Amino acid sequence: MKITWLGHAKVVLAAAEATVLIDPFDASVGYPMDTPSADIVAISHSHHDHNDISSVPGTPEIINQPGKYRMDGVKIKAFSSFHDGQGGAQRGNNLIFVVEMDGLRICHLGDLGHLPDEELLPSLMNIDVMFVPVGGRYTIDAAEAVKLIAAARPRIAIAMHYKTDVCHVDIAPLDALTDIADVRHLAGNTLDTQDESFAQLSGIFALGYRPA
């Protein structure tokens, strides 16, 4: 499988079974709009920087409700959470996705706005790769992200949803995380799980939003 971060919270999981695209943004976010085709598109919530289904070629299956899904050999669980720390009173609901494909468990937290409680946390355990928002304001911030990573203990945590040189969203830059945590930068925007080096990776990482 190839795991690609295309900026903000837009992630592509491409394996022999299927291609899963999570949280496609619209052009106003600022990142390049090089959206690939996908068999499945998962939408964490209905804001424009996460739900631009119209940018995805073809007619993919859409997952935007809590539940368990099995398609094309891919298992997806969508868990309810909140887009803020007030039970959704400010910004509504958010879906967390756990995708099982190609022998791995990938978690995408969407715009999670709170630390998971004792009921939700067990569902976020035993994760190989977890995409974690760190930019604050609309999501958990860097300090909360570090707490969540320590509690859920994914083998690999990848920072997302932070300010970059092209991002127009008013959120904190990656420095907010690198100032308080050991974050390793990887070249390019893709992890190839078939690469021998992938098995050796553990900790918190940052990808570029462009290919190496």
Handedness of CA 22, 24, 38, 40 (dihedral sign): positive
Residue 211 falls within a domain, yes or no? no
Residue 79 and residue 72: Cα distance in Å, rounded?
20
Both tokens assigned to 166: 């092209």
Residue 157 falls within a domain, yes or no? yes
Query: For position 128, which CATH number holds?
Result: 3.60.15.10
Domains in the chain, number? 1
Strands 67-71 and 74-82: antiparallel
Please name the residue that has the structure tokens 């804001």. 47
Q: Which residues contact 63 (CB under 8 A, 6 or more apart)?
A: 40, 41, 42, 43, 69, 76, 78, 97
DSSP state of 101: E
Residue 61 falls within a domain, yes or no? yes
Residue 101 falls within a domain, yes or no? yes
User: Which candidate, 204, 186, 203, places its Cα nearest to that of 195?
Assistant: 186
Both tokens assigned to 152: 């859920």
Residue 153 falls within a domain, yes or no? yes
Residue 212 falls within a domain, yes or no? no
Residue 43 falls within a domain, yes or no? yes
Task: Please give the pLDDT value at position 92.
Answer: 80
Q: How far is CA 91 from the centre of its chain?
A: 18
Residue 133 and residue 195: Cα distance in Å, rounded?
26
Residue 196 burial class via C-beta count within 10 angstroms: exposed 0-12, middle 13-18, buried 19 and up: exposed
Task: Please give the pLDDT value at position 40.
Answer: 97
Task: Please give the pLDDT value at position 91.
Answer: 86
pLDDT mean for each 10 residues of the chain (212 residues): 98 96 97 94 94 94 98 95 88 94 97 96 97 97 98 98 97 98 97 95 97 87
Task: Please give the pLDDT value at position 162.
Answer: 98
Task: Please give the pLDDT value at position 87.
Answer: 87
Residue 53 falls within a domain, yes or no? yes
Task: Please give the pLDDT value at position 186.
Answer: 95
Q: What is the number of residues in the chain?
A: 212
The whole domain housing 173 covers: 2-206
